[in-house]
Amino acid sequence: MHENLEFYGRVYGLEGKVLADRIGEVMGWTGLTDRSDQMAGNLSGGWKQRLAIANGILHKPKILFLDEPTAGIDPLSRRALWELLYELADQGIALFVTTHYMEEAERCNNLVIISRGKLLRSGKPADLKSQVHGKVIEVECFPLMKASKAFEKIPGVLGITAYGTTLHLNVAEGGDVIARLQETARREGIRMSAPKPASPSLEDVFTMIEVENHATD
Query: Please, what is the Cα angle at 128 between 135 and 71, to 5 degrees?
Result: 110
Contact 130, 120 (CB under 8 A): no
Q: Mean of the pLDDT values across residues 139-168? A: 92
Q: Mean of the pLDDT values across residues 179-207? A: 91
pLDDT (0 to 100) of residue 188: 95
Contact 199, 205 (CB under 8 A): no
Whether the bond between 61 and the residue before it is cis, its omega within 30 degrees of 0, is no
pLDDT (0 to 100) of residue 1: 82
pLDDT (0 to 100) of residue 61: 93
**Could you read off the pLDDT of 73-82 as tens digits, one per residue?**
888 888 888 9
The C-alpha atoms of residue 1 and residue 49 are separated, in whole angstroms, by 12
The C-alpha atoms of residue 55 and residue 40 are separated, in whole angstroms, by 12
Q: Locate the domains of the chain by residue range.
A: 2-98, 133-199
**Could you read off the pLDDT of 89-121 as tens digits, one per residue?**
998 999 999 998 888 898 999 999 988 888 889
pLDDT band (50, 70, 90) for residue 122:
very high
Q: What does the mean pLDDT of the chain come to? A: 89
pLDDT (0 to 100) of residue 204: 85
Q: Mean of the pLDDT values across residues 139-158? A: 93
The C-alpha atoms of residue 167 and residue 77 are separated, in whole angstroms, by 28
Give me the percent of the chain exceeding a pLDDT of 70: 97
Residue predicted with more confidence, 97 or 164: 97
pLDDT band (50, 70, 90) for residue 215:
low
Q: Mean of the pLDDT values across residues 160-183? A: 88
Residue predicted with more confidence, 29 or 18: 18
> Which superfamily, per CATH, for 2-98?
P-loop containing nucleotide triphosphate hydrolases (3.40.50.300)
pLDDT band (50, 70, 90) for residue 217:
low
Q: Which residues contact 70 (CB under 8 A, 6 or more apart)?
A: 49, 77, 78, 81, 82, 99, 101, 104
Global pTM exceeds 0.85: no
Contact 127, 157 (CB under 8 A): no
Domain 133-199 has CATH 3.30.70.100: yes
With H, G, I as helix, E, B as strand and everything else as coil, classify residue 77. Answer: helix
Contact 23, 5 (CB under 8 A): yes
Q: Which residues contact 26 (CB under 8 A, 6 or more apart)?
A: 5, 32, 54, 57, 58
pLDDT (0 to 100) of residue 214: 65
Give me the percent of the chain exceeding a pLDDT of 90: 47
Closest CA to 186 of 196, 178, 198: 178
